[in-house]
Structure 1
């Protein structure tokens, strides 16, 4: 199959915008707890009415400060309730939100402020205020621009959110409504800069229609996940990422209760108290949760029990998947019996790690290993993997509870068409596809063909319209022998191993394929503890024969997926940790392959020396 489509389920008035979704919720039930905010004594409900009041006050403050419809306003902060508050206040004032990752470098901040024409920045705390102020003061490119910086964490320093709201008391409700309603579906809601796996970030013009139509149609598309006034989720991914923003608007459209936590450090504690019914998760979190559970079982002397329970869960899910594909009858009697036993003994503890009430998880941002997807579905936490890019306002395909094929990223969401070009590139047309790149007509001309956005990813559509992403077009390796190698599947398989942090398969123009691997610090510590071995610094672990032998086994397993010419012949263990701060990962934890290859050019040369 070369093309698959899903019909639009919900249409919207062309004169409406994202803010109307909030007004709908207010009209339906102003007392509904649309958000929960964490305080010193636990989670506190924020009713729709209170949220609307706070937004209106901040929006009036922006208008009083001279914000005109269409003006850009940047937000640089960790994920928080305040981020959401500010985002909607900007929209109510008629502005355009420009997210900046809180991990961004000074040069990235300077580029975005300059390119987007930003004159107002909301910064999450004192350190970010100082960073932004320093960038503006020290930039020749911004020397003629007055940039106001507002602090978001309510500590009494001016200007902050409280002083901004106070400044707007003279703005009338009529003026606020005039500014709120100026934008229609075709107008820009957010200028979202790509996370920059290669080159300088480009600004993607995401419209109100992109956000609102995707949200409304996803709610209709996934009714089992998004039950009005009953569903709740905890957002911990960075709101500067379009996927997190899109899901946040989906929650608004569904009337789902949303909480925020700033990152993985306190995630498990917050999951236990918030008790979400569904979660947006990146693959690295699935890997960490599974590895932590296996380690805990091993230390308790229950490693064999956990391994048996894992195998039973994976096999049970695989049999379900074969049934979904029309290739089998589903789990047999023995498989169901084993699954039932472990569902009493092991699986409840795993479900409790995510709060105990998660009915579904949604995986995005990067590929999820099929084994992890089968494991979590088998233990009672179904994973709905989807696919999208910044340029498609995140989701353009998704698996659904009733239509799931593990290893695929699902079918097109409503109002979307997926086409696979002759060279295998995935093309997208639909409600989520952005308006274009900001002030970059040359990039637009390159990005579109026949009205479809060229994703740069390679994929295949099956007879039922399910999309499988097979790799990134620019990442495709061609060995000296002319063999095309897609590194992604090999990397995912190797990365599953407890000891491996990240895997980068290399070999473009080389006589054979090899890999650069990093060690996972927690994985190394846990692996050695489970074997009664003393702790070992990572620098020494990288040269330890036992560690290398264990990783070689993982590489051998991965090599079984491909031909000999595509297999990883050898690997090098790097004595480093890839991170956002050091430049090897994007803020959404995607690998910056070109940056890694360039940084470790000497190590690669040694492999082929």
Structure 2
């Protein structure tokens, strides 16, 4: 691949070169489309856009579960020159409709079951709504005079007329876009409760895709299980955009990935690369590995030199097999990995690495292959694509805000110059809001969010995430949030009811158990990080669609 290729040229060449190879498999139906069939689907959509008057730069909204149809709409839109607006299916209908209106989308592609909760009259700029489930028209604006409905009925006839000799690989040629044109308008659902439209350009996507290709994260004929939400930048880039640029076979997992369903799918697909979020690894560690290695007999056995290595080798082999057995590495991203889990995985030499990114970089900022990965880090700033700096008098030792600049950095927030100016300075540095340090070779070590940092009475910086990571490994703790109340640290804890049932612990006994946990926790933290008390909460913390706790709701 030549680095002079534009994003659309990369895809045109990939689709032609991999014409007969499998491209997309729907896990639920086992139906597979080759690159030829996917390219034909994209060409049909291009013709439909043309017939219905979609112009370059028009916004096309897309909301639904991961599916081959979802991927086809996304790829057809960016290779046509329109802007795709992927909306997470977890957004409530009011928020989703607000995003569709704010983005000025003129078409909406949506799953039938999601559409049932929408009110078409509240989206006045949308000319038509098309089903992702069966491709039929679901609604059309009265002023459009059923144009989309008519053209959809004529689509097959007009497609055959355009490609009289049949659609072939020679017909795959996409227009070259301006690097600064907006390819994706991705609405974040930040923990501040305010959704902003991140303008990701063709250059931003190109930076992520070319890095993935050169790093051989995916390669021709490799296998990938796409289970993270494709509407989110992380899954979008590395479970879809990079695989389709290399000739990878993507199996699309449309269900909500519970660990059991996911492990079954991984054993069937046997992917060559696994992209995942910390929650999955942490659940396996806490539910399966931790009970095994904390038994008294096992602790005694592991103290014998030599036996520990053999035992860890067995665990490593079982874990590798659980994830399909044929992957080069697992890339963990989207949130920090619990340090205890990370240290254990490193000890058993499990092939994992932790990357760092954000939607505003589409998403990648730093990554290191697992063999060079430094435990506790979030990888090295992407060489040749991104620069990083720490706003601190001593960037290697004193945490400061992480700032990044380069090819992957967004154009700004859509129709929001104030929010853009707040994070993008005049020199093009993106102020991430994350606090950390940076080694000389540009490896990043994240401490926590700037907004969540607590200043202790003696001037020490406290990062609640670090205390929470320790607390979340304690028995009977499902998840936690450390907040400041009256100048003291309080840990809000949502109990692990499943573990309570398993050990026969009642709700009446739980407070006493939490007192013991508090004592253990305070032995593990610095004196200025000691938690004053644990407060139990009855219900799970409210979260954003990407499963981050909405911290602002609990700071009062």
Corresponding residue to 2:554 among 593, 596, 607: 596
1:516 and 2:492 aligned: yes
Gaps of 5+ in 2: 141-147, 165-169, 393-398
Residue 554 of structure 1 deviates from its aligned partner by 4.8
Corresponding residue to 2:445 among 468, 485, 494: 468
CA distance in 2 between counterparts of 1:379 and 1:80 reads 36
Counterpart in 2 of 1:195?
Answer: 189
Corresponding residue to 2:509 among 544, 556, 560: 544
TM-score by length of 1: 0.79
CA distance in 2 between counterparts of 1:470 and 1:363 reads 17
Counterpart in 2 of 1:130?
Answer: 116
Counterpart in 1 of 2:285?
Answer: 290
Moved more, 22-31 or 232-241: 22-31
Residue 474 of structure 1 deviates from its aligned partner by 0.8
TM-score by length of 2: 0.86
Residue 379 of structure 1 deviates from its aligned partner by 4.4
Counterpart in 2 of 1:315?
Answer: none
User: CA separation of 1:31/1:457 partners in 2, compared to 1, >3 Å: closer, same or farther?
Assistant: same
CA distance in 1 between counterparts of 2:410 and 2:329 reads 28
Counterpart in 1 of 2:273?
Answer: 278
- For the 8 Å contact 1:399–1:410, the answer to whether it is kept is yes
Deviations 1:517-558 (A, max 9, x none): 1123334344x1xxxx3xx6xxx53x424x752x55554454
Counterpart in 1 of 2:41?
Answer: 54
CA distance in 1 between counterparts of 2:177 and 2:189 reads 27
Corresponding residue to 1:384 among 340, 343, 353: 353
Counterpart in 2 of 1:150?
Answer: 130
- For the 8 Å contact 1:384–1:404, the answer to whether it is kept is yes
User: CA separation of 1:497/1:33 partners in 2, compared to 1, >3 Å: closer, same or farther?
Assistant: farther
Counterpart in 1 of 2:369?
Answer: 400
CA distance in 2 between counterparts of 1:45 and 1:303 reads 46
CA distance in 2 between counterparts of 1:276 and 1:308 reads 37
Aligned pairs for 1:525-604 (under 5 A) are 525-526=501-502, 528=503, 533=504, 541=507, 543-545=508-510, 548-549=512-513, 551-552=514-515, 554-578=517-541, 584-597=542-555, 601=556
CA distance in 1 between counterparts of 2:149 and 2:237 reads 27
Q: How many residues align?
A: 529
Aligned pairs for 1:176-195 (under 5 A) are 180-181=174-175, 183-195=177-189
CA distance in 1 between counterparts of 2:484 and 2:135 reads 53
1:372 and 2:348 aligned: no
Corresponding residue to 1:231 among 215, 222, 225: 222
SS of equivalent residue, structure 1 residue 591: coil
Counterpart in 1 of 2:101?
Answer: 114
Counterpart in 2 of 1:321?
Answer: none
1:246 and 2:211 aligned: no
CA distance in 2 between counterparts of 1:25 and 1:64 reads 27
1:343 and 2:306 aligned: no
CA distance in 1 between counterparts of 2:479 and 2:150 reads 45
Residue 412 of structure 1 deviates from its aligned partner by 0.6
Residue 69 of structure 1 deviates from its aligned partner by 0.8
| RMSD of equivalent CA atoms | 3.2
Residue 27 of structure 1 deviates from its aligned partner by 3.0
- For the 8 Å contact 1:458–1:471, the answer to whether it is kept is yes
Counterpart in 1 of 2:87?
Answer: 100
CA distance in 1 between counterparts of 2:89 and 2:149 reads 22
Residue 219 of structure 1 deviates from its aligned partner by 2.6
- For the 8 Å contact 2:186–2:199, the answer to whether it is kept is yes
- For the 8 Å contact 1:92–1:179, the answer to whether it is kept is no
Structure showing greater relative contact order (alpha-carbon pairs closer than 8 Å, 6 or more residues apart): 1
Aligned pairs for 1:139-178 (under 5 A) are 139=122, 142-143=123-124, 145-154=125-134, 167-169=154-156, 170=158, 172=162
- For the 8 Å contact 1:60–1:165, the answer to whether it is kept is no
Residue 102 of structure 1 deviates from its aligned partner by 0.8
User: CA separation of 1:479/1:164 partners in 2, compared to 1, >3 Å: closer, same or farther?
Assistant: farther
Counterpart in 1 of 2:247?
Answer: 255
Gaps of 5+ in 1: 1-8, 313-332, 579-583, 602-609
Moved more, 229-238 or 448-457: 229-238
CA distance in 1 between counterparts of 2:232 and 2:195 reads 13
- For the 8 Å contact 1:447–1:454, the answer to whether it is kept is yes
SS of equivalent residue, structure 1 residue 469: strand
CA distance in 1 between counterparts of 2:132 and 2:300 reads 49
